[in-house]
Amino acid sequence: MKLTRLLPMLLCLSLPVLADTAALENDIRTRAAAVEDKLIEWRRDIHQHPELGDQETRTAKLVSDHLKSLGLEVRTGIARTGVVGILQGAQPGRTVALRADMDALPITEPKGLPFASRAKGIYQGQEVGVMHACGHDAHTAMLMATAEVLAGMKAQLKGKVIFIFQPAEEGSSQFMPDAGKSWGAKLMLEEGLFDRLKPDAVFGLHVMPGRSGEISWRENATTASSDTLSIVVTGKQGHGGMPWNTVDSIVASSQIITGLQTVVSRKANLAVSPAVVTIGSIKGGTGPNIIPERVEMTGTIRTYDENVRQQVVGDVKESAEKIAESAGAKAQVAVVPMYPLTINDAALTARMAPVLKRAADGKIAEAELPGASEDFSFFAREVPGLYVFLGITPPDQDPKTAAPNHNPRFFVHEEALVVGTRAMASMAVAFLEEQPENNR
């Protein structure tokens, strides 16, 4: 290579990286505004045609057609119905992943919105109403818009952006969680999503009741770990008038439920992590004068620390078994691990805080622990991750009393969505602009 050709390259390498962040963010702002009408159209279309976990074929087609039209490399059928698009920037650099979930819930939407869902679906073998009551319609539309924004900035883009449109965040509609099968983010990873192209960071966003357009987040533990609990209490069936001839599974079950309350209040180290043990269903008995042999209960365990999680799971098992034993009954306890806790990488969170503040025009807040869990956690276990929340409560309503996620009245103030697109695009660009030490 001639020196004359080498010189400009050397000059280029010796210059400090002068990322023109303001210009790039202005570009994102202009492009996001230009795509806003389409974003809202996509969101309404997806809202009107919701699909349950592992059945998101229409949504996946809408997404993949769009990504292909932008010139992205597109893969479909990942984790059954997932779609992944890869945008290759014109300049070399790192890789960043942006994730949205596409599935809806087995909830019937009330009439009202012109684009309200009237869809029916099959959930675990039962016909149900289907509704986007967790805002995944908004997530999908915002990420489609983000792809359009960033595809338009390809020439300035350093590195690659992976757009992950994942199915079944709320679980599969086709099998029970304890069926020994994987779904959603976990299945995408098991199918080798990050083996083929491992991102250097992953970002996710969820809509929640909150000031419209406000972005909130927290460092470290962000969404809870989730374990599904099932307890089968077996006694001895007999006449309700002669309990002395029976082992009463109903009374033993009620003692177990009461006893489990002390697993959190007396045993879990709440100074390390909040914890929740909820019994959400109980089934047993057929009539007033029959003491049944068997009572079945299901519940959920939530924590924000892996050690507390293991301790609570162990204590729930031990308490249930021993309380049943003291009543002369037997408790079979099964705990199925669902989602790990989501950890927001501290360094990544600190680096993205000013980016998010600008994207949200200063409307930012520290997020509370949500109690919900998220399978984004599987991605964030593999690479540094950041998961943020976007407020979507209309300005004339109080976020504290607004219908929460999973409620049939859950409502998305669509003006907030362009902020979500700005935030996702800005985080991706800011991450790719940054030249990490020891990595160049």
Q: Tell me which residues are annotated as active site.
A: 339, 414
Q: Which residues are paired to 204 by β-bridges?
A: 99, 387
Tokens of residue 303, six digits: 């924590």
Dihedral angle sign, alpha carbons of residues 438, 218, 184, 43 = negative
Scanning 130-138, 190-198, 382-390, 417-425 for contacts with Zn ion by CB under 5 A, the matching segment is 130-138
Window 280 to 319, contacts with Zn ion (CB under 5 A):
none
Window 172 to 211, contacts with Zn ion (CB under 5 A):
none
DSSP codes of every residue in 234-279 = E-B-EETT-GGGSB-HHHHHHHHHHHHHHIIIIIS-TTT--EEEEE
Whether 375 contacts 190, CB under 8 Å = no
C-beta of 204 vs 235, nearer to Zn ion:
204
Tokens of residue 166, six digits: 């994942």
Q: Shortest distance, CB of residue 308 to Zn ion, whole angstroms?
A: 23
Confirm or reject binding of residue 430 to Zn ion (CB under 5 A).
Answer: no
Q: Shortest distance, CB of residue 136 to Zn ion, whole angstroms?
A: 6
C-beta of 134 vs 232, nearer to Zn ion:
134
Q: Shortest distance, CB of residue 105 to Zn ion, whole angstroms?
A: 7
C-beta of 234 vs 393, nearer to Zn ion:
393
Q: Widest CA span of the chain, in angstroms?
A: 102
Scanning 88-96, 127-135, 298-306, 428-436 for contacts with Zn ion by CB under 5 A, the matching segment is 127-135
Site size with Zn ion, rule: CB under 5 A? 1
Closest CA to 427 of 337, 373, 360: 360
Cβ burial 141-177 (10 Å sphere, 16+ → b, else e): bbbbbbbbbbbbbbebbbbbbbbbbbbbbbbbbbeeb
Which are the contacts of 374, defined by CB distance < 8 A and separation ≥ 6? 169, 204, 206, 223, 339, 342, 387
Closest CA to 375 of 108, 183, 164: 183
Tokens of residue 211, six digits: 């000031």
Whether 225 contacts 300, CB under 8 Å = no
Scanning 30-38, 128-136, 229-237, 388-396 for contacts with Zn ion by CB under 5 A, the matching segment is 128-136
Q: Shortest distance, CB of residue 150 to Zn ion, whole angstroms?
A: 23
- Out of 28, 84, 134, 295, name the contact with Zn ion by CB under 5 A: 134
Scanning 126-134, 147-155, 159-167, 322-330 for contacts with Zn ion by CB under 5 A, the matching segment is 126-134
C-beta of 138 vs 360, nearer to Zn ion:
138
Q: Shortest distance, CB of residue 134 to Zn ion, whole angstroms?
A: 3
Q: Shortest distance, CB of residue 154 to Zn ion, whole angstroms?
A: 30
C-beta of 134 vs 164, nearer to Zn ion:
134
Q: How far apart are CA 311 and CA 269, in angstroms?
A: 9
C-beta of 134 vs 260, nearer to Zn ion:
134
Return the residue nearest Zn ion (CB atom). 134
Q: Which residue ranges make up the site for Zn ion (CB under 5 A)?
A: 134
